[in-house]
Amino acid sequence: MVNTEEVNNKTNVDNDDVREKIKNLIKKKNYNLRDLSRNIKKNDAYLQQYLYRGTPKVLPEVYRYLLAELLDVNVSELIPNWLKDLSSQEQFFSLRNIENRDDHINQISFSKELLVGLNFFDVENLYYFQTHTSDCHITTIVDVSIKKFLEPDIYLLNDKKNYFLASIKFSQISQRKLSVKPYFNDFSPFQINENLLVINGKILWQCSNVLSK
């Protein structure tokens, strides 16, 4: 894994090239810094300060990924050289966003160490899915080959093309029904017959980043 202490010692190196690239992309696409800052869930002046005042010195990973999606570029283009050098020592695999499977630009990389202990058959069946709220960002690895309920766990569901995470277990009301509890209040908990529930995938790995206010 990347050595955190080594990263901290190199945070001032080769970061200006990333800032210049972001500036040029924003100018080319005629984007507004204030609106972009809001779209990555930060205050209006966040990107202005990052690009022109050097604060923060390094853009946190979660915002780099969000900004890459907004600017429609591969996130690797926004990674500073010092981080690329450190990361080259690791082996990575790239996953596509399940919400946009055909777009090869919309990919992120994970260390292959994450695969150790995960129960899956083919890496081609793995996608990533991200949920953003005002309080946190949740990134998950989803196995889309799993289309049915196997055991009490977290699954990915879809309602009118809106993906969402849900904890699913057997219902206490009936053995043939499942109890579905979505992560967030956008969708209400419900009971459903097992053979009627459409599952888009099973969550294999999950992490969250709690945002400071």
**Band of pLDDT at residue 10, cut at 50, 70 and 90:** very low
pLDDT over 70, % of the chain: 83
pLDDT digits (tens, 9 = 90+) for 125-145: 999 998 877 777 888 999 999
pLDDT digits (tens, 9 = 90+) for 61-74: 778 888 888 888 88
Average pLDDT on 104-121 reads 76
The predicted structure's pLDDT at residue 2: 41
**pTM here?**
0.60
3 state SS of 117: coil
61-71 vs 16-29: helix axis angle to the nearest 10?
30
**Band of pLDDT at residue 191, cut at 50, 70 and 90:** very high
Q: Does domain 120-210 have CATH number 2.10.109.10?
A: yes
CB-based contact 119:47 (threshold 8 Å):
no
Instruction: Name the segment(s) of the chain with CATH classification 2.10.109.10.
Output: 120-210
Average pLDDT on 177-201 reads 91
CATH number for the segment(s) 4-90: 1.10.260.40
The predicted structure's pLDDT at residue 118: 83
Contacts of 54 (CB under 8 A, 6+ apart): none
Most confident segment among 78-82, 91-95, 164-168: 164-168
The DSSP 8-state label assigned to residue 97 in this structure reads B
Contacts of 37 (CB under 8 A, 6+ apart): 43, 44, 45, 46, 47, 48
CB-based contact 167:181 (threshold 8 Å):
yes
**Band of pLDDT at residue 79, cut at 50, 70 and 90:** confident
Instruction: Name the segment(s) of the chain with CATH classification 1.10.260.40.
Output: 4-90
The per-residue pLDDT of the chain, averaged, comes to 81
Which of the residue ranges 74-83, 123-132, 145-154 would you say has the lowest mean pLDDT? 74-83
